[in-house]
Amino acid sequence: MGDEIAHSHFQESDFADFREHLATETKLLGEWFQQGGFSSRVPACGLEVEAWLIDAQALPAPVNSLLLERLGNPLVVPELAQFNVELNVEPQALRGGALGLLETELHDTWCECQKVAASLDTRLVMTGILPSVAQQHLTLANMSQQKRYRALNEQVLRLREGKPLMLDIHGREHLNVVHADVMLESATTSLQLHLKVGCGQAVRYYNAAQIVSAPLVAACANSPYLFGKSLWDETRVPLFEQSVEVGGFAGASRGPVRRVSFGTGYAKESLFECFVENEAHFPVLLPMVFDAPDAQLRHLRLHNGTIWRWNRPLIGFDDDGTPHLRIEHRVLPAGPTITDSIANAAFFYGLVHALASRDASPEAVLPFATARDNFYAAARHGLDAQITWLDGRKLPVQGLLLDELIPLARYGLGLLDIDAAERDHYLDIIRQRVGNACTGAAWQRAYVVRHACDMAALTEAYYQRQESGVPVHDWSA
């Protein structure tokens, strides 16, 4: 989805041509899976962080094109809205001091962005949903200039037969709004973790990523408010799922689930099953036909980029052109700080590796429907959620995290030969955050209780504490 396209208006012949290329590339990918033709330089890790630009009043500042022009850093790219940017880091082999290297690179890029943003009288802030964003900010006038975003909006509305998006979220309060375009999606900003895995182990890692999604989102929730309403601890989840919803319309009848979803089941034999489902059940949104060899999988990768599973399999290529498999873990919000973000990454990598390395696969004892229910319960209630774990017991997630999962993640990082000092440093941040019950979501709610429901003031207070670099569990209210 990150690739730019040449134009945003399409004919029916474009859809037919794209589907033909997609079928050819899907067949080729199936052959690669049968042959095990993927990179063995694994495991490796990487991440993306989506951030907001805000002005002196702590409101969204739609100036990303100016920032990116002045910055000139290929690791920082536009997002859907002009008040969002995405920061990337170079992938690292997942061993030794990898986590510290991720933090150093992200910190350096963040500081570079902040310096340029200051020259535009703006600031960068990372959070799941900016508390001060209002519905009137989410307009096509604030959409980034790239053609792919215009095309995405046009095609979603085409599949919806021109009907506006409906947002209906029941949380601590109830939010029900109608919106004319896909700009609702730009209110959801995340930390996306990438895990490059071998073909033979990919099913285990993918299923483990689905299972750990619930405790991860509970421990890392940072999106309690939208348009001034107190909703889920991780309101990004229902917001994103509803912001590009096309199901139930004649043009979208092939799709079994929302384009943003937890998915339809565990992988069984290989991750190729997801790409088969992509071709069979999801209508093409961006039928851009490329003049490229089939082996580049340009059409398959673009189509996959318009289907946002919370854990999404990706096909990429090593520097020497060898194809590789990655799992993109999309459940986590951005922020509250860079250090919190790397701690979240450490927790994910350690926990998913520990589960994927077990002799007995955890997906054999935890039904997919239960893993999915766990995820939505944790997104809604955060550390107050109760989830069903591998032994079949329903447990408070806070106690499960402290008693079992944080130690298990430490064990997993040990299996990966992550430096002991890094294991202790990052997982201690998770332990203190969970023990204090002070996630980003909990801090925001506590601030509102003490200081009233002023979303701009909340955003400013959040920004000031984020700039201190102190992890959220030590923030003052």
Q: Which domains does the chain have, with CATH numbers?
A: 12-459 (3.30.590.20)
Q: Which of 142, 124, 119, 145 is nearest to 65 (CA)?
A: 145
Residue 212, H or E segment: helix 202-220
pLDDT at residue 9 in the model: 74
Task: Report how far residue 57's alpha carbon sits from residue 456's, in angstroms, rounded to the nearest whole number.
Answer: 7
Greatest Cα pair distance, the chain, in angstroms, is 60
Tell me the Ramachandran region of residue 394: left when phi exceeds 0, alpha when psi lies from -120 to 50, beta otherwise. beta
What is the Cα gyration radius of the chain? 21
Q: Which of 83, 123, 126 is nearest to 339 (CA)?
A: 126
Classified as helix, coil or strand, 202 is helix
Give the relative orientation of helices 64-71 and 98-119 as an angle to the nearest 10 degrees: 110
Q: Which of 212, 138, 59, 171 is nearest to 445 (CA)?
A: 171
Classified as helix, coil or strand, 124 is strand
Task: Report how far residue 438's alpha carbon sits from residue 408's, in angstroms, rounded to the nearest whole number.
Answer: 21
Task: Report how far residue 29's alpha carbon sits from residue 362's, in angstroms, rounded to the nearest whole number.
Answer: 27
Question: Would you say how long the chain is, in residues?
Answer: 477
Residues 456 and 132 sit within 8 Å (Cβ to Cβ): yes
∠ CA 430-433-434 to the nearest 5 degrees? 85
Q: What is the pLDDT along the chain (477 residues), one digit of tens a residue?
A: 455 555 557 889 999 999 999 999 999 999 999 999 999 999 999 999 999 999 999 999 999 999 999 999 999 999 999 999 999 999 999 999 999 999 999 999 999 999 999 999 999 999 999 999 999 999 999 999 998 899 999 999 999 999 999 999 999 999 999 999 999 999 999 999 999 999 999 999 999 999 999 999 999 999 999 999 999 999 999 999 999 998 755 554 444 568 999 999 999 999 999 999 999 999 999 999 999 999 999 999 999 999 999 999 999 999 999 999 999 999 999 999 999 999 999 999 999 999 999 999 999 999 999 999 999 999 999 999 999 999 999 999 999 999 999 999 999 999 999 999 999 999 999 999 999 999 999 999 999 999 988 999 999 999 999 999 999 999 998
User: b/e string for 398-435 if b means 16 or more Cβ within 10 A?
Assistant: bebbbeebbebbbbbbeebebeeebbebbbebbbebbe
Residues 211 and 332 sit within 8 Å (Cβ to Cβ): no
Tell me the Ramachandran region of residue 469: left when phi exceeds 0, alpha when psi lies from -120 to 50, beta otherwise. left
Name the amino acid, one letter, at 312. R
pLDDT at residue 310 in the model: 98
pLDDT at residue 384 in the model: 98
pLDDT at residue 247 in the model: 73
Q: Which of 349, 372, 416, 33 is nearest to 194 (CA)?
A: 349
Residues 6+ apart with CB under 8 A from 178: 164, 165, 166, 167
Question: Beta strands 44-54 and 84-88: pairing type?
Answer: antiparallel
Q: How far lies 210's CA from each of 81, 284, 309, 311, 331, in Å?
A: 29, 25, 10, 6, 10
Q: Which of 390, 476, 399 is nearest to 435 (CA)?
A: 399
pLDDT at residue 430 in the model: 98
pLDDT at residue 453 in the model: 86
Classified as helix, coil or strand, 412 is helix
Residue 327 DSSP code: E
Residues 6+ apart with CB under 8 A from 104: none
Task: Pull the structure tokens for residue 260.
Answer: 């943003």
Residue that the structure tokens 């959040």 belong to: 462
Task: Pull the structure tokens for residue 218.
Answer: 């509970």
pTM recorded for the entire structure? 0.96
Residues 44 and 196 sit within 8 Å (Cβ to Cβ): yes
pLDDT at residue 270 in the model: 97
∠ CA 348-169-463 to the nearest 5 degrees? 55
pLDDT at residue 255 in the model: 47
